[in-house]
């Protein structure tokens, strides 16, 4: 029917139809080959995606003859960061890999059949004339890997998807093997061969890791790590950054495999890695968390009591045992942390664990009131063991919060000093008021410490807290004085500096027997030296400011407090006239007396005689039923 219908068309109509089809086909090719069957965004590729169809950057011409090269790790890292993996969106990255594969096949004329029939093709060494054939296989492996990672996220709620996950990982390994086999050709340069071997070892290690074949996974990861370390040492520092990052990603997996094989020393290294990074991401995250929890739980089984300030308290709650066992490791990691962001993250993690432990103790503190009163009577006024444990955990929480705020204060002090030296403008700078707020929080935490149950009669503890309070009061007072200096309030700042010296001298006089407890606090002697230097500079600045005021004052600049509307005939330089607080007129204007409207009083109303109305009232009263009937028929006069 179609052939009969087309044969009956006039020749010029058939030519037009052929021309339209040709133009539509050209537009489809120019748009990136998406068409109607683009599968979610394949059509209409932008200029950036069209550039990907060009040859990837390989070795420079003439460096290795006509050999092919492919920056495998660089290509996959850039693609992952630009297409979803920065936010953990594996589905978006998988869609990108599919679209790029379709564009590559169209560009290379390496299509798998047509829309009606599939015809499988394989990249062989004979047709390997372009490095985009290697990129084609790499994108196949990346698509399978990203689908596996997507299924891993979904397998948390749907365990059956784990089987599909393993199938996709095996597919990715198969593509990686094909890539490695093609790279063994003499046409491919040595660097690409090594990168293909490392990529193959990485995917193999991930597959064995999911199968929990720890020895095979460890061997594959070690091979991958060795290759990337060799590549990093062979190139410049800029090129070695990507390789070193990949080595850092692989190291926790290797240690985890070693631990499962039987290396007990690996758990401590894993915990240090986790603390330094503030939490592991990717393949190892959940397994490492569960492993650390299990290890601490085993150690907690042997922990039965804890001693604090001369009193031994039994610990029966598992969550509290696990927290107390990991406390030393957390504090060591905080002490070894280099960046301020890492320290802040570790402090928050420690405080979160401490709050969970305190909540577990609070739930144990809800027994019957009679049992609590009985325990108080037996202990002769002492608090119960569980209450004392609660006080100990609260002390740890408050002390950690104080250390965190002190660390933030030190970082702010450094920033404040650098900004005073550079005096850069254009962005919000650190101010002494920010430090004052931090020291207020520290003092509030110190107020809560002496009120903990069980420590009211501990005189040494009360004395230590009192000395710490004086130290932080001195620093708070110092930064309040600094804020007054900024606004040139010299007398207030001088009085506050004297107060700082008073607090510091009290600390030095009372700190004889408590030097060990004050070691972690800021140095008071350093503060005294700084205050003495600031006092001298403040006095000099006050004198200079007073001289400048007298020199610059002139009759034309003396303000008499009058508004502009009241001194039109007097010349006076008033800078406030060009500001937002210009004194022009009185506003709102004052009240002025005005003549009011006269009032009229009708005094003659009581003396007026109105005409009588009795005759009209009587006439209306006489009109009874007859008048009503006449009114109905219209006979009323």
Give the residue carrying structure tokens 């990715």. Answer: 172
Rg, Å, the chain Cα set: 43
Give the residue carrying structure tokens 């869609």. Answer: 95
- Mean pLDDT over each residue of the chain, to the nearest integer: 77
Higher pLDDT, 422 or 255: 255
Q: What is the distance, to the nearest Å, from the Cα of residue 243 to the centroid of all Cα atoms in its chain?
A: 27
Q: Are 310 and 388 in contact (CB under 8 A)?
A: no
Higher pLDDT, 538 or 402: 402
Which residue blocks in 31-160 are alpha helix, DSSP H?
Answer: 47-51, 72-82, 90-108, 132-154
Q: Given this model, what pLDDT does residue 280 score?
A: 43
Q: Residue 65 CB: number of other CB atoms within 10 A? A: 9
DSSP 578-635: GSTT---S-SSPPP---PPPPP----SGGGPPPPP-HHHHHHHHH--HHHHHHHHHT-
Q: Given this model, what pLDDT does residue 195 score?
A: 92
Q: Residue 104 CB: number of other CB atoms within 10 A? A: 18
CA distance 272 to 278: 10
Q: Given this model, what pLDDT does residue 22 score?
A: 57
Continuous segment of H or E residues that includes residue 269: helix 266-277
Q: Given this model, what pLDDT does residue 135 score?
A: 92
Q: Given this model, what pLDDT does residue 617 score?
A: 73
Q: Given this model, what pLDDT does residue 65 score?
A: 46
Q: How many residues does the chain have?
A: 637
Mean pLDDT of 599-622: 76
Q: What pTM was computed for the model?
A: 0.52
Instruction: Give tens-digit pLDDT for 501-548.
Output: 988 888 888 876 666 666 677 778 888 888 888 888 888 888 887 766
Give the residue carrying structure tokens 């009708």. Answer: 602
| 214-234 and 190-210 helices, crossing angle to 10° | 150
Which residue blocks in 278-317 are alpha helix, DSSP H?
Answer: 285-300
Cα–Cα distances in angstroms (integers) from residue 612 to residues 472, 617, 623, in the given order: 100, 10, 20
Instruction: Give tens-digit pLDDT for 52-63.
Output: 666 655 544 334
Higher pLDDT, 4 or 84: 84
Q: Are 17 and 75 in contact (CB under 8 A)?
A: no
Cα–Cα distances in angstroms (integers) from residue 2 to residues 7, 8, 21, 24, in the given order: 9, 10, 16, 21
311-314 and 305-308 as β-strands: parallel, antiparallel, unpaired? antiparallel
Higher pLDDT, 215 or 33: 215
Find the Cα–Cα–Cα–Cα dihedral 40, 44, 45, 50, rounded to 10°.
Answer: 140
Higher pLDDT, 633 or 161: 161
Instruction: Give tens-digit pLDDT for 429-468.
Output: 677 888 889 989 999 999 998 888 888 888 888 888 888 8
Q: Given this model, what pLDDT does residue 576 score?
A: 77
- In the predicted model, is pLDDT for residue 180 greater than 80? yes
Instruction: Give tens-digit pLDDT for 296-354.
Output: 555 555 567 788 888 888 888 888 888 887 787 778 778 877 778 878 888 888 888 88
User: b or e along 241-274 (b: 16 or more beta carbons within 10 Å of the residue's beta carbon)?
Assistant: ebbeebbebbebbbbbbbbbeeeeebbebbbebb
Bridge partners, residue 113, by sequence: 118
Continuous segment of H or E residues that includes residue 230: helix 214-234
Least confident of 170-179, 276-285, 524-533, 568-577: 276-285
Q: Given this model, what pLDDT does residue 303 score?
A: 65
pLDDT band at 38 (very low <50, low <70, confident <90, very high): very low
Cα–Cα distances in angstroms (integers) from residue 33 to residues 37, 49, 100, 492, in the given order: 9, 12, 10, 75
Angle at 94 between CA 57 and CA 244, to 5 degrees: 50
Q: Given this model, what pLDDT does residue 44 score?
A: 43
């Amino acid at each position: 029917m179609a052939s009969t219908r087309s044969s009956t068309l006039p020749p010029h109509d058939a030519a037009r139809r052929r021309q339209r089809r040709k133009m539509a086909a050209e537009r489809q090719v120019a748009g990136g080959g998406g068409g109607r069957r683009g599968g979610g965004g394949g059509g209409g590729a932008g200029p950036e995606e069209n550039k990907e169809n060009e040859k990837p950057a390989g070795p420079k011409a003439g460096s290795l003859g006509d050999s092919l090269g492919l920056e495998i790790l660089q290509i996959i890292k850039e693609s992952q960061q630009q297409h979803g993996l920065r936010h953990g969106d594996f589905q978006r990255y998988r869609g990108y890999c599919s679209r790029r594969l379709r564009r590559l096949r169209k560009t290379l004329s390496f299509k798998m059949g047509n829309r009606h029939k599939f015809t499988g093709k394989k990249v062989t060494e004979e047709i390997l004339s372009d490095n985009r054939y290697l990129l084609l296989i790499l994108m196949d492996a990346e698509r399978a890997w990203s689908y596996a990672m997507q299924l891993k996220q979904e397998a948390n709620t749907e365990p059956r998807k784990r089987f599909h996950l393993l199938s996709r990982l095996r597919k990715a390994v198969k593509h990686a093997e094909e890539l490695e086999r093609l790279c063994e050709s003499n046409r491919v340069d040595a660097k690409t061969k090594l990168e293909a071997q490392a990529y193959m070892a990485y995917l193999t290690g991930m597959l064995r890791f999911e199968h929990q074949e720890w020895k095979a996974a460890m061997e594959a990861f070690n091979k991958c790590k060795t290759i990337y370390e060799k590549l990093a040492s062979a190139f410049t520092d800029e090129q070695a950054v990507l390789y070193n990052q990949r080595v850092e990603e692989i190291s926790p997996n290797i240690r985890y495999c070693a631990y499962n094989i039987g290396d007990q020393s690996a758990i401590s290294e894993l915990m240090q890695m986790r603390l330094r990074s503030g939490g592991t991401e990717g393949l190892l995250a959940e397994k490492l968390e569960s492993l650390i929890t299990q290890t601490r739980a085993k150690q907690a089984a042997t922990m039965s009591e804890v001693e604090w300030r001369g009193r031994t308290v039994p610990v029966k709650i598992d969550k509290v045992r696990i927290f107390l066992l990991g406390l030393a490791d957390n504090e060591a990691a905080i002490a070894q942390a280099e960046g301020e962001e890492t320290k802040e993250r570790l402090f928050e993690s420690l405080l979160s664990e401490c709050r969970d432990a305190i909540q577990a103790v609070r739930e144990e503190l809800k027994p019957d009131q009679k049992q609590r009163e009985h325990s108080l009577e037996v202990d002769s006024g002492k608090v119960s063991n569980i209450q004392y444990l609660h006080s100990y955990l609260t002390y740890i929480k408050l002390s950690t919060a104080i250390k965190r705020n002190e660390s933030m204060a030190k970082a702010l002090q450094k920033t404040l000093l650098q900004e005073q030296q550079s005096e850069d403008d254009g962005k919000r700078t650190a101010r002494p008021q920010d430090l004052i707020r931090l020291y207020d929080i520290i003092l509030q935490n110190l107020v809560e410490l002496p009120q903990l149950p069980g420590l009211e009669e501990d005189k040494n503890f009360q004395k230590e807290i009192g000395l710490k309070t004086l130290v932080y009061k001195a620093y708070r007072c110092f930064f309040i004085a600094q804020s007054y200096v900024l606004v040139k309030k010299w007398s207030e700042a001088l009085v506050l500096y004297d107060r700082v010296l008073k607090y510091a001298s009290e600390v030095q006089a009372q700190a004889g027997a408590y030097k060990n407890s004050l070691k972690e606090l800021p140095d008071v002697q350093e503060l005294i030296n700084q205050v003495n230097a600031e006092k001298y500079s403040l006095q000099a600045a006050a004198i200079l400011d007073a001289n400048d005021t007298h020199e610059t004052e002139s009759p034309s600049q003396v303000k008499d407090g009058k508004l502009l509307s009241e001194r039109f005939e007097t010349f006076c330089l008033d800078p406030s006239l060009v500001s937002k607080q210009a004194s022009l007129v009185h506003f709102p204007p004052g009240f002025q007396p005005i003549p009011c409207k006269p009032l009229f009083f009708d005094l003659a109303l009581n003396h007026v005689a109105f005409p009588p109305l009795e005759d009209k009232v009587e006439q209306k009263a006489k009109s009874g039923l007859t008048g009503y009937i006449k009114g109905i028929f219209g006979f009323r006069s």
